[in-house]
Chain A
Amino acid sequence: MTAVKTLVRSWLPPVVAAVVIFGGWEALLAIIRPDGFVLPPPSEIGRAVAQNWDAIVTATGVTGFIIVTGLLAGVVVGAAFALLVTAFRAANETLTPLAVAINAVPIIALAPIFNAWFGILSPRSNQAVVVVLVFFPVFVNTARGLTQVEPSQIELMESYGARKWRIMREVRIPNAMPFFFTALKLATSLAVIAAIVAEYFGGRQDALGNLITNSAGLTRYDDAWAAVLAGSLVGIGLYALAVVVERLVMPWYFTARRSA
């Protein structure tokens, strides 16, 4: 009984919010009736999804692959950079300025250049945009978590004769976990944006980005919105996955917060 109650309590607010927002959207458009291409009502977007189901599923698969692989690679590279920079002074003095410099480049603007490097139809060029965009927030946040450790915890480990890598494993990495997951959640939506925008410049024709530009070009805005919806769902799914993994990896963080 209480389990049902908590389930209802946690699901009810977002469901009500969705009904209100989409219902209001539909109702408002029914009342003021703007020209269809400004903003189609949810019902028309739904119809567009049904009509283009196969194309949308294919496009979501193509773009989803780029998002997920790019996200994973960017996260791995970002976390690895953070570890190196924390462990080695020389790495800090070389990699940190490099990372800052890369981040200062308008990364989306590199998409056409990556197309030239990797081939306009290759997934590599779009993956590269995702990797570069995801990398920096993961790097910066994880590095902060690895270094922002209570000094007495380091002294404690040293007093036990622990070496650098043991301190990394026992203190720095667990301490960095909340920082890392904050960055990971941020990175999921960045990856979706990066992949779709990169597709505006190149890549396979059956991807979400091209579906959006092509549909918009033909003034089929309901189809464009249907593709946007698919991209959003990928982003929401990845975010939810990150939240689940976060809970599994550091349950201690949430027990602590509950009682504190």
Chain B
Amino acid sequence: MSDTQGSMDAHRLAVEIRGGSKIFNLGRHNEVKALTDIDLDIGQGEFVTLIGPSGCGKSTLLRLIAALIDTTEGTVLVNGKTADAARLDRDYSMVFQRAGLFEWRNVSRNIELPLELMGWKAADRRQRSAEMLELVKLDEFARHHPAELSGGMQQRVAIARAMSFHPKLLLMDEPFGALDEMTREHMQHELLRIWSETRITVVFVTHSIAEAVFLSTKVVVMSPRPGRIAAVVDNDLGERTEATRDDPAYFANITAVREALRGGH
């Protein structure tokens, strides 16, 4: 799924944050320092997880990258552009904890939504939507309505929707947080398969240590009050299989992340 645009971007960082901070309600009595002194580089094709306790600002950091909220100080670059320019260029796509599918659209038309906003022709949309349904293995459910699908299936549709226009960057905010353990592990494998097939860059927010270590090439450990990056744990476990979950190196990195989380307090 690489194109010429993609290879041109290969030399630039996917995400580059320098001195990023976010203060909500600045200057008011309910002022909150959500993030402070954030420096973060994410290379093309990396799978980075952001982990930390509630209130550490990991979701806020994801929204700064998405330009859904503005930084109070510092710069956020996405593919070498300002985050807002990247948003308007549709460089990235988001997946939320709640699948957020539109009840009034069937599965196929949910996946087509971003393509409609980009002005694609109907026939092209239909074809891309079919490809995406194949990617997330839900081909038979194109005409179903979201309410007829299980939570895990809905989240797969949300991933298909996010991937539909082949964005360079996927921003995921606790996407499997509402799923049961079995479905969650299955979805982790599916996501890694999609990641290795597409080589898309992923930034993934979670509060599960095991999930962070299983999925990512780099774990960014955050600590609260004010939210900041406490440590970055490199997590090179090679290709993930079921056996990875029993690998001593996997457990060693889980311990490393846990200690980094404790150290942050």
Which residues of A are at the interface with B, using a C-beta cutoff of 8 A?
Answer: 150, 152-153, 155-162, 166, 170-171, 174, 177, 250, 252-253, 255-257, 259-260
Interchain CA distance A152-B145 in the complex, whole Å: 19
B171 / chain A contacts, CB cutoff of 8 Å: 159
A259 touches B148 (CB 8 A): yes
Interchain CA distance A158-B117 in the complex, whole Å: 11
> Counting CB contacts under 8 A, is B90 at the interface?
yes
A161 / chain B contacts, CB cutoff of 8 Å: 87-88, 90, 117
Listed by A's residue number, 20 A-B pairs whose Cβ atoms lie within 8 Å are A152-B96, A153-B102, A155-B63, A156-B94, A156-B96, A156-B100, A159-B92, A160-B90, A160-B113, A166-B117, A170-B102, A170-B113, A174-B102, A177-B104, A252-B105, A253-B104, A256-B147, A256-B148, A259-B145, A259-B148
Interchain CA distance A171-B122 in the complex, whole Å: 20
A150 touches B94 (CB 8 A): no
A157 / chain B contacts, CB cutoff of 8 Å: 117
B145 touches A160 (CB 8 A): no
> Counting CB contacts under 8 A, is B66 at the interface?
yes
Given contacts A158-B68, A159-B66, A161-B87, contact A260 B147 (CB under 8 A): yes
Number of B residues, CB within 8 Å of A:
27
> Counting CB contacts under 8 A, is B93 at the interface?
yes
A162 / chain B contacts, CB cutoff of 8 Å: 117
B96 / chain A contacts, CB cutoff of 8 Å: 152, 155-156
Interchain CA distance A252-B143 in the complex, whole Å: 11
Residue of A nearest to B165 (CB): A160
Chain B: minimal CB distance from A113 (Å):
43
A155 touches B68 (CB 8 A): yes
Chain B: minimal CB distance from A234 (Å):
31
**Chain B stretch 37-67: residues in CB contact (< 8 A) with chain A:** 63, 66
A159 touches B147 (CB 8 A): no
> Counting CB contacts under 8 A, is B177 at the interface?
no
A152 touches B117 (CB 8 A): no
> Counting CB contacts under 8 A, is B80 at the interface?
no
Residue of A nearest to B161 (CB): A156
A152 / chain B contacts, CB cutoff of 8 Å: 96-98, 100
A171 touches B102 (CB 8 A): yes
B94 touches A155 (CB 8 A): yes
B63 / chain A contacts, CB cutoff of 8 Å: 155
B118 / chain A contacts, CB cutoff of 8 Å: 160
B148 touches A255 (CB 8 A): yes
Contact with A along B185-207 (1 / 0, CB 8 A): 00000000000000000000000
B145 touches A255 (CB 8 A): yes
> Counting CB contacts under 8 A, is B114 at the interface?
yes
B106 / chain A contacts, CB cutoff of 8 Å: 252
Chain B: minimal CB distance from A61 (Å):
38
B117 touches A255 (CB 8 A): no
A160 touches B147 (CB 8 A): no
A159 touches B102 (CB 8 A): no
Contact with A along B201-220 (1 / 0, CB 8 A): 00000000000000000000
A160 / chain B contacts, CB cutoff of 8 Å: 90, 93, 113-114, 117-118
Residue of A nearest to B145 (CB): A255
Interchain CA distance A251-B94 in the complex, whole Å: 28
Interchain CA distance A158-B88 in the complex, whole Å: 9
Which of A161, A166, A170, A257 has the largest count of B CB atoms less than 10 A from its CB? A161
> Counting CB contacts under 8 A, is B236 at the interface?
no
Which of A150, A160, A259 has the largest count of B CB atoms less than 10 A from its CB? A160
> Counting CB contacts under 8 A, is B131 at the interface?
no
> Counting CB contacts under 8 A, is B259 at the interface?
no
A153 / chain B contacts, CB cutoff of 8 Å: 100, 102
> Counting CB contacts under 8 A, is B103 at the interface?
yes
Interchain CA distance A158-B68 in the complex, whole Å: 7
Chain A: minimal CB distance from B25 (Å):
18
A150 touches B103 (CB 8 A): no
